[in-house]
Amino acid sequence: MTRLLLITDDFPAQPLIAALSSAADFQVTLRNKFADAQRAVIAGAFEACLFVPKTLTAETLGEITSARALLPHLPLVAVMPIDTATDQQQRVLAAGADITLFHPLNLAALTRVLQRLGARAADAPSTFASPVQAHQPKAAAMSTALEVLRDFSQVLGYSLDYRQLTQQFILRLREVVGVSRIAIFLEPGMIDASPTSVPLDNSRLGCVAAIGISTELVECFALSRNTGLGCQLTMRPQILRAAAPQIPLDAKILRELEVLGGQIALPIHDRERTLGVAVLGGRLMGGEFTDEELLLVYHLLEELGLAVKNSWLHNQLVGSHRLFASVLEGITIGALVTGPDLSVLYANPAIIRFLRGENGKTVEFHDLPSAIALKLHDVAEKGAAVEPFLHETPAASVYRVSVIPLRQATGKLPQTALLLLEDYTRLSAMQRAEIESSNLQLIGLIARRFAHEIRNSLVPLTTHQQLFDAEIENADFRDSLKTALTRETQRIQRFTEQMLLLARADTPPSELAALDDLLQQSFAKSREFAGGSGTLDLTTDLPPIVIRCHRTSLAHAFQEIFLNGLQSSHGEPRLAVSLNAAPTADGRAELIIKVRDTGGGFAAESANRATEPFFTTRNTGVGLGLTIARRVIEAHQGRLDILPRHSPGDPDIVIHLPLPR
């Protein structure tokens, strides 16, 4: 079986890819660019490389050239479209390809071509040898670059401590390449950072590990990203040699290399940016490092950069976890975290005390009350949304319970959940005491209003009762008694109706009534209660209107509104009532009733409080009339507005009621 590396960005090449993948003679690895598989190629993971570009570009030619320079004997085949020009074929061959084939590709022909190229490669010296193996005596060199990487796997045991990791890395690196001295410089970044620490200056690269360099120098010497080696390798991440450099080195760089006793400087990457710099001295046995050796070291340093970054992220995560745990440890709210399997991952002291008492050490899921455990189960297993709720224990303790899902990025169920228990016992007792106090105050207010209103009605009746025996034969006395009985009975009856409507003001509308008749009858009752005087001016451009209502309650609401206007008017009372219709924002038809009396209107403060229970500016009445009117109209899906006057023609009261469709 031939291990084949296929480099392509050509979607039309999918049939070829499918054919090669299904063929028993080939094991295909697909990559978009040669650089993505470069280290595996160096390690000898492939026996041939196929380039299948969509169009021939300078980048493709460059990749072919790089592959040929890196591995002179690796079979390279370019598969081009059938209409490829001759000069393009020549450019591909000049770049380093062994042969050019065309779509559609015959697998049998490809097999024979690879066999011939493979046989030629087998006769060449050091076929698929690693860079280290090709330039060192065979007795001392490792067999392949894979063995180098495998040897470095022993370093991974220190991966959570970046300093030990780096120190072990340079020890292993010295064994592999035989370097006399090594220094690793890294930015502070997240090295010792916690979520609450002051951000560090990443422009300074400190030495975190070194071999062959004095401790005094390591402690006092650092590189800068603004000048010298740090700046050069940050701006241009490439390998620098002190002797015969590819680019001229400034005096600052040469001075830093001289101080460190270094001959070579390499960038340390995490595949995104430069984290630091590695400075290498000369060989222990003398001689120069080959390009292949330095390339291998470069890639090993890249792996070191990734491991260091992971160590930093781990330290930051641990710091965040410790901070979060410290916060939860210190709060008085009980906090418990359960995993997807409902195991308890964390429980702070407060929730342990809530569930197990002062002597409790741990808490388990089965320690939770069933009502709370059921909600937590629904959130973790079903992803249900649970609103905060109150839970009362047999010992009369009250807790506010919140269950918060800690959703996974995948959105899969079951999920982790956070349970919060807040002790509401004292707050609940205070709320009950406040409600009881408010109820007592309300009862006292109602009692005073009751007593005041009944006493006002009893004064004329008691006076007539005292004169009854002496004045019963007097016609004027009998007329006065009749008038008093009628007036005070009406007052008591109105007060009784107000209290009943206050208790059932939300009776739903279920009858049809003619609006004009309802208004006229309500005004007649209001005028009778007010003493028999008053005029209603009703104006409208609308046809006769029939509305759906609860006739008794709505009629009483109109009576209270009209009576308020009659009692507020001066001289001969006159009420101006206008009817109009207008559409609402959602397109429904709405009836608008505007009421204006001949009095002075509502003051701004009175308009704001007019519908409050028991608010009144008069010496008579209990202040429930407009309160009941508002509740009745709202029960009819309407609105009652009390308005102060800004101009002479402004209404005092505006009623909004829905019109039947």
pLDDT value of residue 189: 64
List all residues 6 or more positions away from 276 whose beta carbon is below 8 Å from its beta carbon.
Answer: 184, 185, 186, 187, 205, 267, 268, 305
Average pLDDT, the chain: 81
* pLDDT above 80 for 561: yes
How far apart (Å, rounded) are the C-alpha atoms in residues 37 and 44?
11
Interval 625-653: pLDDT, tens: 888 888 889 888 899 999 998 888 889 99
Cα Rg of the chain (Å, integer): 47
pLDDT value of residue 191: 45
Say which residue the tokens 């079951």 belong to.
414
Say which residue the tokens 């390499």 belong to.
266
Percent of the chain clearing pLDDT 70 (strictly above): 87
Question: Of 66-80, 104-118, 142-156, 299-313, where does mean pLDDT reach its minimum?
Answer: 142-156
Interval 371-412: pLDDT, tens: 899 999 998 888 888 899 988 888 888 888 999 888 776 678
For 331, counting Cβ atoms within 10 Å of its Cβ (0-12 exposed, 13-18 middle, 19+ buried), the class is: middle
Report which of residues 533 and 14 the model is more confident about.
533
Interval 457-475: pLDDT, tens: 788 888 888 888 888 888 8
* pLDDT above 80 for 564: yes
Say which residue the tokens 């008794």 belong to.
552
pLDDT value of residue 340: 87
pLDDT value of residue 43: 65
- Residue 428: pLDDT band (50, 70, 90) is confident
* Closest alpha carbon to 623 in 632, 639, 612, 637: 612
* pLDDT above 70 for 157: no
Q: Give the mean pLDDT of 572-589.
A: 86
Alpha helices in 71-220, H assignment, sequence order:
86-95, 107-123, 131-134, 145-152, 162-177, 215-220
Q: Give the mean pLDDT of 540-559.
A: 89
* pLDDT above 60 for 147: no
pLDDT value of residue 48: 86
List all residues 6 or more positions away from 127 whose beta carbon is below 8 Å from its beta carbon.
Answer: 73, 121
Give the torsion sign (CA, 245, 248, 252, 258).
positive
Q: Is 344 helix (H, G, I), strand (E, B) or coil?
A: strand
* pLDDT above 90 for 445: no
pLDDT value of residue 271: 80
Structure tokens at 330: 């210190």
Interval 66-120: pLDDT, tens: 888 888 888 899 988 888 888 888 899 888 898 888 877 778 888 888 888 877 7
Q: Is 177 helix (H, G, I), strand (E, B) or coil?
A: helix
**CA 406 remoteness from chain centre:** 11
Got the DSSP string for 474-538? -HHHHHHHHHHHHHHHHHHHHHHHHHHHHHSTTPPP-EEEEHHHHHHHHHHHHHHHTTS--EEEE
How far apart (Å, rounded) are the C-alpha atoms in residues 20 and 49?
13
pLDDT value of residue 576: 92
- Residue 196: pLDDT band (50, 70, 90) is very low
pLDDT value of residue 1: 67
pLDDT value of residue 264: 92
**Are 546 and 514 within 8 A, CB to CB?**
yes
- Residue 195: pLDDT band (50, 70, 90) is very low
* Closest alpha carbon to 275 in 311, 221, 320, 314: 311
How far apart (Å, rounded) are the C-alpha atoms in residues 212 and 294?
19
Interval 212-257: pLDDT, tens: 888 888 888 889 888 899 898 888 888 898 887 766 788 888 888 9
